[in-house]
């Protein structure tokens, strides 16, 4: 019998737990019958809630046996697997700080993160052990383990020797649970420090706002190194004691196959675009589903509308970021704060500020805008992070005098209270839900031999929403070849950051002040991949 169908989760029942460790709250969400299926994978594996309990205990005991300093960072760059998810939970359980890294990152990127975060433990795939362990040990890590997506690796070998009984480490609300690196508009990435309270408060708000319930089944198709897959999706399912259908990688056909067994799906807009391209997507297939969530990047109104026409379901769009977890959401059920509009999911908007989140839109003078006026989005709440790792000045710059975090997003409220994001003040490209900072790509381009300067801009793309285009200016008398420039970048940067088009040009357009006019470049290349918007 599947207990998630028959029992109310402990979190929903309000069972109390000791201490402020986020793991305790997630564990309290497990159903009473621990033998029920918690995770079913696309490889045909099944894990019970007891498996999650025991494996996280063993892994937490392994971490504790390593005699790590308080607040030690556990950096993890591994392919998605249930064991990798357990490693995250075990890190919480043992009271250390989880540092997930995108599997696409290459050595220059990993080198920076490891130097900056100084993790005590690094876990990587066996294939990358050589170069990653070198970086790790050079930067003071005490332990490097391997973990692969076929349930092998030294991490599991060592954990298998540990006891499956473990007392959850006591942690205060403000103690760090995770550091998520997020690129900067200038300079290098910054580590956003998230506490147990940041993550738990947001997870509890979403549990309620999205009406998670016994019997929910989540299709988990997102990577687990970013907020969306690691926190929003995973915490939601665990708090509700909901079974997860665990896909190692997003594939539209595989998701469609599993839709009839599921009730909740979360994705970035690219995932919806790809599923809409499948003729098999029909209302019959989505009959059991109750909630489709989209976020991390803007969803086009035409995708929102097409989804409703094809499936009969209205996508719930929400907005968040690494520094704040979730900020706004369209309603799942009636939101009493918004009267007649309180149950409407309005396409093109990201909905209402979540309960407990103060969100304001301000003009350049810091005055709060009225409905319809566009300004900078600023936020406050228990979900807002504790600052950037070892960057107190940068942290201070990003907060207003009255304690609001400056998101770098530009938006407006409408008269009914819905928030719309209309742009970004930060120079950022969001491609398939991943953030790409032009400044970072330009700094790599500018280091290449023969390059005088460069500019990277985002242009519309039918699949990824937005992709980068690089314009490169050679030094006097140098012949540059766009294809070999791209090859050089590929050897140094994560693949999703590589501009999808590279042009060698004589000069960059500049204004009277000498500033590069990126808007001119955006206009010039905007129809390169798609003229649909």
Q: Does 434 bind ligand MLC (CB under 6 A)?
A: yes
Positions that interact with ligand AMP (CB under 6 A): 182, 227, 295-298, 317, 319-322, 350, 407, 409, 421, 424, 430, 435
DSSP letters, 135-167, are: HHHHTT-SEEEE--TTS-SHHHHHHTTS-S--P
Nearer to ligand AMP, 153 or 223 (CB): 223
For the chain, what is the radius of gyration of the CA atoms?
Answer: 23
User: Looking only at residues 302 through 341 of this chain, which bind ligand MLC when binding is defined by CB under 6 A?
Assistant: 320-321
As a whole number of angstroms, the distance between CA 75 and CA 109 comes to: 13
| Rounded (5°) CA angle 451-455-456 | 120
Q: Does 226 bind ligand MLC (CB under 6 A)?
A: yes
Distances (CA, A) of 524 to 436, 440, 528: 20, 22, 9
Nearer to ligand MLC, 476 or 491 (CB): 491
As a whole number of angstroms, the distance between CA 202 and CA 198 comes to: 6
Nearer to ligand AMP, 29 or 298 (CB): 298
Q: Does 296 bind ligand MLC (CB under 6 A)?
A: yes
By a kind-dependent CB cut-off of 5 to 8 A, residue 249 interacts, out of ligand MLC, ligand AMP, none, with ligand MLC
Nearest to 75 by CA among 67, 84, 64, 66: 84
Instruction: Please check whether residue 266 is in contact with residue 233, taking contact to mean a CB–CB distance below 8 angstroms.
Output: yes
Nearest to 305 by CA among 317, 297, 295, 296: 317
Q: Does 433 bind ligand MLC (CB under 6 A)?
A: yes
Stretch that binds ligand MLC, among 142-150, 218-226, 343-351, 420-428 (CB under 6 A): 218-226
By a kind-dependent CB cut-off of 5 to 8 A, residue 231 interacts, out of ligand MLC, ligand AMP, none, with none
Nearer to ligand MLC, 215 or 355 (CB): 355
Instruction: Please check whether residue 118 is in contact with residue 187, taking contact to mean a CB–CB distance below 8 angstroms.
Output: no
As a whole number of angstroms, the distance between CA 463 and CA 300 comes to: 11
Q: Does 247 bind ligand MLC (CB under 6 A)?
A: no
We find the least distance from the C-beta atom of residue 54 to ligand AMP, in angstroms, to be 33
Instruction: Please check whether residue 68 is in contact with residue 141, taking contact to mean a CB–CB distance below 8 angstroms.
Output: no
By a kind-dependent CB cut-off of 5 to 8 A, residue 250 interacts, out of ligand AMP, ligand MLC, none, with ligand MLC
We find the least distance from the C-beta atom of residue 451 to ligand MLC, in angstroms, to be 21
Q: Does 243 bind ligand MLC (CB under 6 A)?
A: no
User: Looking only at residues 143 through 202 of this chain, which bind ligand MLC when binding is defined by CB under 6 A?
Assistant: none
As a whole number of angstroms, the distance between CA 12 and CA 235 comes to: 13
Residue whose token pair is 């738990």? 200
We find the least distance from the C-beta atom of residue 86 to ligand MLC, in angstroms, to be 20
Interface residue with ligand MLC among 96, 181, 212, 250 (CB under 6 A) is 250
Instruction: Please check whether residue 502 is in contact with residue 490, taking contact to mean a CB–CB distance below 8 angstroms.
Output: no
We find the least distance from the C-beta atom of residue 20 to ligand AMP, in angstroms, to be 24
3-state secondary structure of 510: strand
We find the least distance from the C-beta atom of residue 512 to ligand MLC, in angstroms, to be 35
As a whole number of angstroms, the distance between CA 241 and CA 244 comes to: 9
| Residues linked to residue 411 through DSSP beta bridges, in sequence order | 375, 421
Nearer to ligand AMP, 297 or 376 (CB): 297
Q: Does 220 bind ligand MLC (CB under 6 A)?
A: no
| Rounded (5°) CA angle 205-99-407 | 50
E-state strands within 313-463: 316-321, 325-329, 352-353, 358-362, 375-380, 405-413, 419-424, 429-431, 434-436, 451-461
By a kind-dependent CB cut-off of 5 to 8 A, residue 241 interacts, out of ligand MLC, ligand AMP, none, with none
We find the least distance from the C-beta atom of residue 16 to ligand MLC, in angstroms, to be 30
Query: Which helix or strand (DSSP H or E) is residue 468 part of?
Result: strand 465-474
Nearer to ligand MLC, 63 or 227 (CB): 227
As a whole number of angstroms, the distance between CA 374 and CA 448 comes to: 39
As a whole number of angstroms, the distance between CA 418 and CA 347 comes to: 10
By a kind-dependent CB cut-off of 5 to 8 A, residue 21 interacts, out of ligand AMP, ligand MLC, none, with none
Q: Does 268 bind ligand MLC (CB under 6 A)?
A: yes
As a whole number of angstroms, the distance between CA 295 and CA 427 comes to: 19
Nearer to ligand MLC, 113 or 155 (CB): 113
Interface residue with ligand MLC among 112, 496, 525, 530 (CB under 6 A) is 496
User: Looking only at residues 387 through 426 of this chain, which bind ligand MLC when binding is defined by CB under 6 A?
Assistant: none
What are the helix (H) ranges across 259-326?
269-276, 301-311
Nearer to ligand AMP, 100 or 320 (CB): 320
Interface residue with ligand MLC among 138, 495, 511, 519 (CB under 6 A) is 495
Chain residue at closest Cβ approach to ligand MLC:
432
We find the least distance from the C-beta atom of residue 13 to ligand MLC, in angstroms, to be 29
We find the least distance from the C-beta atom of residue 103 to ligand MLC, in angstroms, to be 9
CA 97 to mean position of chain CA atoms: 17
Stretch that binds ligand MLC, among 45-53, 171-179, 390-398, 432-440 (CB under 6 A): 432-440
By a kind-dependent CB cut-off of 5 to 8 A, residue 345 interacts, out of ligand MLC, ligand AMP, none, with none
Maximum CA extent, the chain: 74
Q: Does 295 bind ligand MLC (CB under 6 A)?
A: yes
Nearest to 37 by CA among 197, 187, 242: 242
**Interface positions with ligand MLC (CB under 6 A):** 222-223, 226-229, 249-250, 268, 270, 295-296, 320-321, 431-434, 464, 467, 495-496
């Amino acid at each position: 019998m599947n207990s998630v169908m028959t029992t109310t989760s402990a979190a929903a029942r309000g069972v109390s737990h000791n201490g402020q460790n986020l793991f305790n709250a997630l564990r309290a969400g497990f159903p009473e019958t621990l033998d029920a299926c918690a995770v079913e994978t696309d490889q045909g594996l099944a894990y019970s809630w007891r498996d999650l309990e025991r494996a996280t205990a063993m892994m937490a005991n392994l971490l504790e046996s390593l005699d790590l300093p308080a607040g030690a960072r556990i950096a993890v760059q591994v392919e998605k697997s249930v064991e990798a998810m357990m490693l995250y939970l075990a890190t919480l359980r043992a009271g250390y700080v989880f540092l997930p890294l995108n599997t696409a990152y290459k050595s220059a990127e990993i080198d920076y993160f490891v130097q900056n975060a100084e993790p005590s433990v690094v876990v990587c795939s066996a294939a990358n052990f050589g170069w990653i362990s070198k970086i790790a040990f050079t930067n003071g890590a005490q332990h490097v383990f391997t973990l692969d997506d076929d349930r092998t690796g030294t991490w599991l070998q060592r954990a298998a020797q540990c006891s499956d009984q473990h007392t959850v480490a006591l942690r205060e609300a403000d103690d760090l649970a995770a550091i998520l690196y997020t690129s900067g508009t200038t300079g290098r990435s910054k580590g956003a420090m998230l506490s147990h309270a940041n993550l738990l408060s947001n997870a509890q708000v979403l549990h309620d706002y999205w009406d998670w319930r016994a019997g929910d089944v989540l299709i988990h198709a997102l990577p687990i190194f970013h907020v969306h897959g690691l926190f929003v999706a995973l915490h939601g399912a665990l708090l509700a004691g909901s079974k997860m259908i665990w896909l190692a990688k997003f594939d539209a056909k595989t998701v469609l196959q599993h839709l009839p067994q599921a009730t909740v799906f979360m994705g970035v807009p690219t995932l919806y675009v790809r599923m809409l391209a499948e003729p098999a997507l029909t209302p019959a297939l989505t009959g059991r589903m109750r909630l489709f969530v989209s976020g991390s990047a803007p969803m086009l109104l035409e995708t929102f509308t097409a989804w409703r026409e094809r499936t009969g379901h209205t996508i719930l769009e929400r907005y968040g970021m690494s520094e704040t977890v979730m900020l706004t959401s369209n309603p799942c059920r009636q939101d009493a704060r918004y009267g007649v509009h309180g149950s409407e999911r309005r396409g093109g908007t990201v909905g209402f500020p979540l309960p407990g989140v103060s969100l304001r839109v301000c003009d350049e003078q810091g005055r709060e805008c009225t409905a319809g006026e566009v300004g900078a989005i600023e936020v406050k709440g228990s979900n807002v992070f504790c600052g950037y790792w070892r960057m107190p000045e940068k942290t201070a710059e990003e907060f207003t005098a009255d304690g609001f975090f400056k998101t770098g997003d530009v938006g407006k409220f409408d008269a009914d209270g819905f928030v719309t994001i209309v742009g970004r003040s930060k120079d950022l490209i969001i491609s398939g839900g991943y953030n790409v900072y032009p400044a970072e790509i330009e700094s790599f381009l500018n280091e290449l031999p023969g390059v005088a300067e460069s500019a990277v801009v985002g242009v519309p793309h039918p699949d990824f929403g937005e992709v980068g285009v690089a314009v490169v200016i050679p030094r006097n008398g140098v012949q540059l070849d766009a294809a070999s420039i791209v090859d050089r970048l590929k050897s140094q940067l994560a693949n999703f950051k590589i501009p999808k088009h590279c042009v060698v040009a004589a000069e960059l357009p500049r204004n009277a002040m000498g500033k590069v006019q990126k808007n001119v470049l955006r206009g010039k290349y905007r129809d390169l991949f798609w003229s649909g918007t």
